[in-house]
Structure 1
Amino acid sequence: MDAETLFRQQCTSAVGGDGSANAERLVDLVVETYRLQAGKTRATEHRFQRLSHDTDRLKGTLAETTAKLTEQRRLFQIVLDNLPEGLSVFDAEQRLIVCNTRFRQLFGFSADDASSGASMGSLIGKVRGTERVEQKISRLRDASPQGGHIRHREWMMDDGRTIRSVITVLPDGSNISIHADITEDRKAAERIAYLAHHDPLTGLPNRISLRERIDAALLGRKPDEQIALVHLNLDRFKSINNTLGVSAGDKILRQVAERIRMSAGAGNVLARLGSDEFAILQSGRQQPWNVTALADQIRRELSEPFFRGEKAVELSVSMGIAISPQDGTETDVLLKHAGVALSHAKSSGGKGERFFTADMEAQIEARHALEADLRKAVEREEFELHYQPLYDLSQQRICGFEALVRWNHPTRGRVPPLEFIPLAEEVGLVVDIGRWVLRRACRDAVYWPEDIKVAVNVSAIQFTDSDLPGDVAAALEEAGLTAGRLEIEITESVLMENLDEALPILHVLKQRGIRIGMDDFGTGYSSLSYLRRFPFDKIKIDKSFVNGIVEDKEAFAIMRAIILLGDALGMRVTVEGVETAEQMALLRSEACDEIQGYHISPPRPAVEVPYLLSQLPEHERFKAG
C-alpha cells in the first residue's frame, strides 16, 4: 500500500468514516493538499540533490584547475630558469617583479639580492662592473611619443666578461629586459676585424690595411713631404717550400718579417702582401736618400743565413721603389709603379732594388705582351731546336750535339733565348718548354748514328715543379732512344737551390743509364764541393775561362788544373767557347776530352745535322727518317 492510500484511510477514520458526501469531500481535500505538499517536498529534495551534485562537480573542477595552474607555474619557472639568457621584469616603480636564474648568474646576484620587490637601483649598486653609455634607442612600434622604447646597454664586468642588456620599456614605465653574455661573440668579432686587416702568419698589416695607410698618407701629405713605397719580393723563395716543406717555409717567412720589421723601424709601415711579398711605406723628407738607406739595411739583414735546425738557408731580395708625388699621387698608381719597378729588378737578376722611371711602364707592357705571346708559343709549339756539335779531340770527330731551343715568332721573328728563357722561368712556362725540348731532341737523335749523343739543358725549376724522371723516361720511350745516348746538363744553381731534392733525382737518372754533366763549371762558388757530392759524367768549363788561355799564363794554368781535376775524378771535360785554331791546338795538347764552339760550328738547325756528320768519314751513313 502506497503512502497516499494509507493517508486517505487515516483521514477517513479521523472524520468518522460514515460515508457522507461532506466527509468524502473533506477527505479528498485533505488528500489533495497532502499530494501537493508531497510533490513540493519531492521537488525540493530533487533541487537539493542537483545542487549537491553541482557543488561536488565545481569542487572537482576547481581542484583540477588549481592543479593545472600549479603545474603551469612549475613549468613556467623551469622554462624561465633554463633560458640561455637572463630575464628580468620591473614594474613602473622600478621594482623587480620576476627574474630567472641566468639573470642572477650573469650579474652575480644572490636569491635574496634579486628577490621580488628589489629596486633596480639597489641591484645596479651590487653589479661588479661598469655600465657603458647606451648604444642604441629605438621607439616601440605603435607606441605613443611618450610611450615605450627599446634601449641597448653593455656592462664591462670586473672579471672581463661583456654583458649586453636589451631593455624594452613599456608605455606605463615598466620594463622587460633580456641579458646575454656576449664575451665570446665580441672576441670573435674583434678577431674577424683583426684578420680582415692583418696577415695571420706574421701579424703584419695586410694589403687592405696598407691601402688604407697609403690613402691616409697621401691625403695628409705636406707640400714638402715625400712618400716612398717599397715593394719587396724574396728571390726564388718557392724552392724553399719545395725542398724544406711549407711549414719550414712559414717559419722562415716569420723570421724574414721580423728582420724587415727591425730594419724598417717604428716610424714606417710594414705590410705583407702575399706569400713572399712585403711592402714598406715611408713618409718624410730627403728622398730618395732615406729609402735607399732603408733598402741597403734590409738587403744586409736578409743576406745573413736563416737556420732550420743546423741547415743554413740563404735568401736574397728584390725591391721596387716608387716615390710620391713624382711617381703618383693616388694609391693605385703608387702601388702599380712600385710593382713595375720590382718587375724590372727581378728581370735584371734580382738581389737589388730599382726606382720607378717613366720608361719602365712601356717596358713592362712590352714584357706582358711578350709573356702572352710566349704562352701562345707553348700552345702552338712555335719552337725549334738547333744543335751545336761536341767535338772529341782524341778521335777528331763529332761525338754529340747540344740541343739549343729557338723561338721563331710569327711577327717578331727570331726571339733570342736570353729574352724568353728567363721570362719562361719566371712565369712558370719553362717546365712545358723543357718537356717539349726533351721530346724533340730524343726524336731527332734517334735518326743519328748510334755513337752520337744528344745533350739537353735542364732548368732548376724542372727539378721542383715537374716529374723530371718521368718526363725523361716518356721522351726516351716515345722516341725509342737508348738512355745512354741522352746527356742531361745542369748548372750549379740547380744544386745550390734544391740540393736535397735534386740529388735523389740525379741518382735516379744516372741509375737509368742517362749521363749527367755539370754546365758552366767554375762560375759558381761551390762547384768543387758538388763534384764530391755527385759522380758527374762530365764537367763543362765555361767559355769565360777560354778567352785568354793562349796569351794569359794564369788563365791557361786554371784551365790545365780543371782538366787534370776532371781526369783525376774520372769525368770527361768539355770546354765551351772555342773560337780559334790556337785554342783548339792548346786544349788538344793538354789532353782535353771535348770542345764546343764556333771554331767547330755554330748551332745549326736539325736538318743540317746530316751534313755536319757527313763531313767525317768515321761515321756511318746517316739514317733515313
Structure 2
Amino acid sequence: MSIKVRLILGCLVFAGLTIAFGLLSFRGQLDAVDRLSAFVDSGVDPLTRLQTSLGNLGEVRSRLESEIQIDGDAARRMALGGRDLQSVLSAVADVRENVAAVLETNIPETAKDSLRGLVYSLGLIETGYASVSKPTVARELEKITLGLQSALRILRNDLDERGEAADEAMESSKTQGAVALGTVLFAMLGLVIYLIRSVSTPFRRMSETARALLANEEIEIKPIGPKEVREATAAIAELQDRCQFLKTDLDAKTNMLSDKIEAQQGQLQAALDNMTQALCMLDGQRRLLLSNGVFNERFGEFDILTPAKKFFSDPSLTSALRENETDSIQMTMPDGIVLEVKRRGMVAKGLLITFEDITQRELISKRLKHLAGHDQLTDLPNRRQFGEDLDALLKTARKPFAVVVVDLRNFKSINDNYGHPIGDLLLKACGDRLAGLGDGRSRVARLGGDEFAIITPQTKTAPDVEALGKAIVSSFNEPFEIEDRRMFATVSVGIVVHDPSAVERDGINADIMLQNCDLALYKAKEDRSGIGSCEVFEPAMRARLKERCEMEVDLKAALDAEEFELYYQPFVDMAEKRVSGFEALLRWRHPEKGMISPADFIPLAEESGLIDRLGIWCLNTACAEAATWPETMTISVNLSPMQFKSDTLLADIDNALKTSGLAANRLQIEVTESLFLDQSDRILDILKEMRSRGLTVSMDDFGTGYSSLGYLSRFSFNKIKIDQSFVRDLGRQENIAIVRSVIGLSKSLKMQVIAEGIETEQQMRGLLAEGCREMQGYFFSKPQPKEELPRMIAEITKRWTGDLGASADAALAA
C-alpha cells in the first residue's frame, strides 16, 4: 500500500472517529436539554405558579380573617363587598388561572386530584360572592389554601425525584462522553502510531541506507515498505551499483591520471629546465618554491623555502603585487647581460618572476633606432632625426646658432653620366666634407636626395654666418676623388640664424626653421653663375612665400573664373614661305594684378597639383581653336612633366581631339628634357603611345641638358627645337657648331628641326645657311591672342614680298 493511500485512509478514520464523538456528544447534550426542559416545565414552573397563588391567597385570607375578628358577629352576617370583594376575586382568578396552567403540565396525578378539588371552592366564591358571607368565604379560602399546600407538597416531592433523576442522567451522560473521548483518543493514538510505523520508519531506514552509502559502508539494500519508499530504495540500490561502477572506473582513471601527472611533472620540469628564461616562484614570505635550470645557472642553486634575499640583492624584485597584477623592469647584470624581469602576483601574496636575456634584442633595438634616425647611405642623421635634434636644441639653446641647408646643383647629371653607384659615393664624400667644416659640436644630416643640413652652434654673429656660407661654397669648388675620377659638385646654400630671444615671440620650431632654410636655398638657386652661391634667410623671403600662397589661392579661383587665355606664336616655314602652325602659350590676366608671367604661376601650378586642370583646359582650348584653321596648319601645346604622372593624360588628349574634331597629325606635343628625370621608362611608353596615335612629339630646349643624346637614342622624336640660348649668341663659333650638329643629327635621324628665339635677320640668315628651314621668334611675330591671328598671318604673308622674302631667297641661294 502506498504512502498516499495510507495517509488518505488514516485521515478518513480520524474524520470518522471525530464525527462519531461529535454525534455522541450532541446526543448527550440534547438529552440533557430535554431533561432540563422537562424539569423546569413539569417541576419548577408549576411549583412557582402554585407558590405565587398560595402567597396571594394567604394575604387575602389573612386580611379577611382580621376583619372578621374585628367586626365579630356582624361580620359573619355580612356579604363580601368593596375592596375585599375585588381582592378575593382577583386572588381566586389568579389561583384558577395558575391551577388551569399547572393542570396542563406533566405533574403527578395526585397533585392534579388535589388541584381539581379546588374547582368547587373557586366556583363557589366566584359565583356566590354576593350572598356568601365573609366567614364562608374565609372557610372556602382555607380549603383552597390546604389544597394548594397539598399539591405543593406533592410537587416538591416530585421535583426532588425529578432532580435526582436528572443528576443521574447527567452523570451517566458525562460517563458516556468520557468513555467516547477516551475511545477516540485511543483510536487516534493508534492511527498516529500506525502512520509513524508505516511511513516514518521506512523513510528513516532509507535515510540510514543513504548515509551508509555516503560513508562508503557495505550494506544490503532491501526495497520494503510503502510503494514510494520501495521505489526510492530500488533507485538507491541502482545508484549504489552505479556508484560502485563509477568508483571502480574513477580509481582506474585516478591511477592513470596519477601516472600521467607524474610524467607531466617530469616533462614540466624538463620544460622549465629547457626554457631560455630564468624562472622562480616565491611564496608570501618571499621564500623559494620553484625554480628552473636557467635560474640556477644564473643565480645559483638553492633549496626550497630559501629566503629570496639570499639570491636577490635588489629589493624591488620582491616588492609586493596584488593577485594577477603584473609589472616589468630591466636590470643589467655585472657581466653586461641585460635582463627583462617580468613579475606576476599570485595567491597569498606569492610572486612568479621570469628573467629573459634581451641583450641581443636591445642591441637590435638600438640598431633599428639608429637606422630609423639615420641615412643608410651616409650614416648621417636623416630628416626626422635632424628635426628632433633641432627641436631639442631650440628648447635648451641660450645662445644664437645657425642652421644650414646644402643642395648639390649638378647631382642629376653626375648620376646620369657616371651612374648611381658613383653618385652614392659622391654623396658620402659630400657628407664627410661637410662634417669636416664644423667643430665637434656641429651636427650634419642628410635630409634626402642631394640635400644636406648642418646645425652649427659656433656660428653666432652675421660675419660668422657669411664666413660659414663662403667656406661651404668654396670647399665644394675643390674636386672630389671618386674611384680615380676627379669630380666637381657645386652647391647652393641656405642659412637661418636662430636667436633664442625670438623663440617666444615667433614660436619657431624645427619645421619653420627648415622652411626658412628652404626659402633661402631657393633664393640661392636663382644664381646661374655655376660656381655655387649662398643666401641667408631674411623675413622678406617669408613675405614672398606668403605672396606665393596668395597666388595659389588666386590660381584656384582663376581656374573657376576662367581668367586664363591662350596666346599664339607662329611657326614659319622658310622653304615654303608660309605660316605652318602656332605654339599655344598660356597667359593669366589677373583682375587686379594684370598679366602674370607663366614663369611665375606654372611652377606654382605644378607644386599645388593644379597643373592637370590647367593642362586639360589648354589642350581643349588649343584644339578647338586649331580646328578652325586651314588643315595645313598645326598647333603645338607644351606639356608639363607633372602631367605625365596623370593616369588620364592619353585619355584627356583623345577627348580634346574628339571634342574639337582636330586631326591627330595636326597636334604637336612639346616636352622638355626635365621630363625624363624620373620614371623615364614610363615616360617613353607614354610618348610611344602618342606617336602611335599620330601625334607629333617635339623635344623643346634641345641641347641645354646633359643627356639629350641619350634620350634620342631611346626615343625617336618627330621634331627637335633648338634652344634660343644658342640662337641669340649665334656669332660664337661654339654655338654655330652646336646648331650645325643638331641640324645634322636631326637629318640623320630623320627628324624635323625648328629654331626658336629668332629676333634678328642675321639670326634667320645664319640658321637658313645651316639648313634650318622652320623658325619661331619675335622677328616674325610676338605671341598674339586668337583675335589677332588673321592680321598676324596677313602681315607675315605680306612680308614674303618684302624683306622677309628677300632675306630668305638670299640665304637659301647662298
2:619 to 412, 434, 438: 438
- 1:320–1:333: structure 2 CA closer, same or farther, 3 Å change rule? farther
Between the aligned partners of 2:265 and 2:395, the Cα distance in structure 1 is 60
Q: How does 1:85-104 map to 2 (within 5 A)?
A: 86-89=279-282, 92=285, 96=288, 98-99=289-290, 103-104=292-293
- Check conservation: 1:138, 1:151, Cα contact below 8 A: no
Task: Provide the residue aligned with 2:456 in structure 1.
Answer: 282
Task: Provide the residue aligned with 2:297 in structure 1.
Answer: 108
- For residue 597 of structure 1, report the CA deviation from its aligned partner: 1.9
Code of the aligned partner of 2:772: C
Task: Provide the residue aligned with 1:4 in structure 2.
Answer: none
Between the aligned partners of 2:218 and 2:336, the Cα distance in structure 1 is 59
- For residue 229 of structure 1, report the CA deviation from its aligned partner: 0.8
Q: How does 1:194-343 map to 2 (within 5 A)?
A: 194=369, 198-199=373-374, 204-205=380-381, 209-218=385-394, 221=397, 226-232=400-406, 256=427, 259-260=430-431, 263-265=434-436, 267-271=441-445, 278-285=452-459, 287-289=464-466, 291-292=468-469, 295-296=472-473, 319-325=493-499, 329=503, 332=508, 335-343=511-519
Q: Deviations over 1:551-587 (max 9, x none)?
A: 7787667656655554555433323223345544565
Code of the aligned partner of 2:453: A
2:776 to 593, 596, 602: 596
- 1:568–1:340: structure 2 CA closer, same or farther, 3 Å change rule? same
Between the aligned partners of 1:299 and 1:461, the Cα distance in structure 2 is 32
- Higher percent of residues as strand: 1
Q: Give yes or no for the alignment of 1:606 onto 2:786.
A: yes
Q: Give yes or no for the alignment of 1:367 onto 2:548.
A: yes
Q: How does 1:28-177 map to 2 (within 5 A)?
A: 56=217, 86-89=279-282, 92=285, 96=288, 98-99=289-290, 103-108=292-297, 113-118=301-306, 120=308, 124=311, 133=314, 154=331, 156=333, 160=337, 162-164=339-341, 166=343, 176-177=351-352
- 1:78–1:344: structure 2 CA closer, same or farther, 3 Å change rule? same
1:479 to 660, 664, 689: 660
Between the aligned partners of 1:299 and 1:519, the Cα distance in structure 2 is 32
Between the aligned partners of 2:455 and 2:655, the Cα distance in structure 1 is 50
Between the aligned partners of 1:448 and 1:303, the Cα distance in structure 2 is 57
Between the aligned partners of 1:575 and 1:153, the Cα distance in structure 2 is 74
TM-score (norm 2): 0.53
3-state DSSP class of the match of 2:333?
A: strand
Code of the aligned partner of 2:465: P
Q: Give yes or no for the alignment of 1:456 onto 2:612.
A: no
Between the aligned partners of 1:53 and 1:222, the Cα distance in structure 2 is 88
- Check conservation: 2:402, 2:495, Cα contact below 8 A: yes
Q: Which moved more, 1:487-496 or 1:271-280?
A: 271-280
Task: Provide the residue aligned with 1:576 in structure 2.
Answer: 756
Between the aligned partners of 1:589 and 1:161, the Cα distance in structure 2 is 82
Q: CA RMSD in A?
A: 5.4
Q: Deviations over 1:66-87 (max 9, x none)?
A: x799799969969986789834
Report 1 or 2 for greater relative contact order, CA contacts < 8 Å, sequence distance ≥ 6.
Answer: 1
- Check conservation: 2:718, 2:752, Cα contact below 8 A: yes
Between the aligned partners of 1:215 and 1:539, the Cα distance in structure 2 is 51
Q: Deviations over 1:291-327 (max 9, x none)?
A: 3256437867999999xxxxxx999865431122299
- Check conservation: 2:496, 2:516, Cα contact below 8 A: no
- For residue 107 of structure 1, report the CA deviation from its aligned partner: 4.0
- For residue 353 of structure 1, report the CA deviation from its aligned partner: 4.3
Task: Provide the residue aligned with 1:622 in structure 2.
Answer: none
Q: Across the two proteins, how many residue pairs are aligned to each other?
A: 534
- 1:562–1:140: structure 2 CA closer, same or farther, 3 Å change rule? closer
1:506 to 657, 682, 687: 687
Task: Provide the residue aligned with 1:538 in structure 2.
Answer: 719
Q: Deviations over 1:587-607 (max 9, x none)?
A: 556653122222322111123
Q: Deviations over 1:114-142 (max 9, x none)?
A: 443556466x3xxxxxx785558866789
- 1:479–1:348: structure 2 CA closer, same or farther, 3 Å change rule? farther
Q: Give yes or no for the alignment of 1:404 onto 2:585.
A: yes
- Check conservation: 1:134, 1:152, Cα contact below 8 A: no
- For residue 374 of structure 1, report the CA deviation from its aligned partner: 2.2
- For residue 282 of structure 1, report the CA deviation from its aligned partner: 1.7
- 1:572–1:153: structure 2 CA closer, same or farther, 3 Å change rule? closer
- For residue 452 of structure 1, report the CA deviation from its aligned partner: 0.5
Q: Which runs of 5+ in 2 are unaligned?
A: 1-207, 220-243, 527-531, 799-814
Between the aligned partners of 2:361 and 2:408, the Cα distance in structure 1 is 37
Between the aligned partners of 2:554 and 2:476, the Cα distance in structure 1 is 34
- For residue 400 of structure 1, report the CA deviation from its aligned partner: 0.2
- Higher percent of residues as helix: 2
3-state DSSP class of the match of 1:332?
A: coil
Between the aligned partners of 1:611 and 1:506, the Cα distance in structure 2 is 35
- Check conservation: 1:400, 1:454, Cα contact below 8 A: yes
Between the aligned partners of 1:240 and 1:564, the Cα distance in structure 2 is 27
Task: Provide the residue aligned with 1:127 in structure 2.
Answer: none
Code of the aligned partner of 1:600: F
Between the aligned partners of 1:152 and 1:370, the Cα distance in structure 2 is 56
Q: Deviations over 1:175-215 (max 9, x none)?
A: 64433427389749956993797258566545564455335
Between the aligned partners of 2:456 and 2:667, the Cα distance in structure 1 is 54
Q: Give yes or no for the alignment of 1:447 onto 2:635.
A: no
Between the aligned partners of 2:608 and 2:410, the Cα distance in structure 1 is 12
Q: Deviations over 1:200-243 (max 9, x none)?
A: 856654556445533554566565xx4221235677999999x9
- For residue 57 of structure 1, report the CA deviation from its aligned partner: 6.7
- For residue 113 of structure 1, report the CA deviation from its aligned partner: 3.5
- 1:373–1:250: structure 2 CA closer, same or farther, 3 Å change rule? farther
Task: Provide the residue aligned with 1:5 in structure 2.
Answer: none
Between the aligned partners of 1:151 and 1:510, the Cα distance in structure 2 is 67
Task: Provide the residue aligned with 1:32 in structure 2.
Answer: none
TM-score (norm 1): 0.67
- Check conservation: 1:239, 1:497, Cα contact below 8 A: no
Code of the aligned partner of 1:291: L
- Check conservation: 2:320, 2:345, Cα contact below 8 A: no
- For residue 489 of structure 1, report the CA deviation from its aligned partner: 1.9
Code of the aligned partner of 2:431: I
- Check conservation: 2:722, 2:753, Cα contact below 8 A: yes
- For residue 481 of structure 1, report the CA deviation from its aligned partner: 1.6
Between the aligned partners of 1:577 and 1:338, the Cα distance in structure 2 is 39
Between the aligned partners of 2:647 and 2:523, the Cα distance in structure 1 is 23
Between the aligned partners of 1:229 and 1:276, the Cα distance in structure 2 is 17
Q: Deviations over 1:2-42 (max 9, x none)?
A: xxxxxxxxxxxxxxxxxxxxxxxxxxxxxxxxxxxxxxxxx
- For residue 362 of structure 1, report the CA deviation from its aligned partner: 1.1
- For residue 357 of structure 1, report the CA deviation from its aligned partner: 1.4
- 1:334–1:89: structure 2 CA closer, same or farther, 3 Å change rule? closer
- Check conservation: 1:154, 1:165, Cα contact below 8 A: no
